Amino acid sequence: MKIISYNVNGIRGALAKGFIPWLKATKADIVCLQEIKATPDQVDVEPFRKMGYEMFWMPAEKKGYSGVALFTKLKPSKIVLGCSLDIYDKEGRVIRADFDGFSVMSVYMPSGSRGDDRQTFKIQWLADFKDHIDSLSLKSRLVICGDFNICHHPMDIHNPTANKYSPGFLPAEREWLGRFLENGFIDTFRYFNKNPHHYTWWSYRAGARRKNLGWRIDYALAGIQLERRLKRASILHQAVHSDHCPVLLELQ
């Protein structure tokens, strides 16, 4: 079973760059999207239906901003929109689908890069998100996919020294992610690949992607009960519909 997570940085822009034929070729069973920046009525959803996807959307209240979605070929037993906290739900940060034996969440975490107020917002989000996950009885069989806007280790960012005080690589953020993983989750990409220079986001400036000057901020985390089902995890860096690239997780 293939699960793909992708911050598309605007689904309408991604569609204009060949997203549909690319997605069809992946044969993904479940697709988690972040930063969709659209509502379903603004998108031609028929190509997704023809591929067999049932679509669930959690757009932001603000037009052209944030938002997550989850497309699935498997029939979910339950869909949960948001995390029951209006301050985040109005920004379209979380959507979850429950299936037989496991659940999948698409999450778009705040970046904190637009000033001190948003960084403060991000730190509060991190605390509240952990509390939300800890409250779930299905936590140990949950796959959390999405843009975390955090690089965990120095090997996850192209220049850790210069970015020491950059939002997304701040000590408090990295420590939070470490504690989150220790509390029952597996960074599936690192489970299979311990090598540096693997990134999921590149600035549009100065040819950063061509030079591979990136950040690994997109993850597929698996609850510990799913460890025996992990088959493969990879970064699909050749997909160029966004300033991010997708991450892939395969489960037995």
> Kind of pairing, strands 102-108 and 142-147?
parallel
Residue of 86, 117, 131, 147 with catalytic role:
147
pLDDT tens column, 118-159: 999 999 999 999 999 999 999 999 999 999 999 999 999 999
Give the whole-angstrom CA distance, residue 74 versus residue 243: 29
| pLDDT, average across residues 102-120 | 92
Domains assigned to the chain: 2-251 (3.60.10.10)
Q: Is the pLDDT of residue 114 over 80?
A: no
* Strand pairing report for 54-58 and 68-72: antiparallel
Q: Which of 118, 74, 69 is nearest to 98 (CA)?
A: 74
Q: Give the whole-number percent of the chain exceeding pLDDT 90.
A: 98
Instruction: Give the model's pLDDT for residue 63.
Output: 94
Band of pLDDT at residue 113, cut at 50, 70 and 90: confident
Q: Which residues of 10-25 are buried (b: 16+ CB within 10 A; e: fewer)?
A: bbeebbeeebbebbee
Q: How far apart are CA 126 and CA 178, in angstroms?
A: 12
The mean pLDDT of 31-39, rounded to a whole number, is: 98
The model carries a pTM of 0.97
Checking if the pLDDT of 177 tops 90, the result is yes
Residue % of the chain over a pLDDT of 70: 100
- pLDDT at residue 112 tops 90: no
- Predicted confidence at residue 115, as pLDDT, reads 74
From the list 106, 123, 99, 105, the residue with the least C-alpha distance to 8 is 106
User: What is the distance in angstroms between the CA of the first residue and the CA of the last residue of the chain?
Assistant: 6
Q: Is 98 in the active site?
A: no
Separation between Cα atoms, residue 252 and residue 246, nearest integer Å: 20
154-176 average pLDDT score: 96
Give φ, ψ of 175 to 5 degrees: -65, -40
Tokens (6 digits) for 24: 């069809």
At 19 the pLDDT is 98
* Averaged confidence pLDDT in the chain: 97
Are residues 69 and 56 in contact, defined by beta-carbon separation less than 8 angstroms? yes
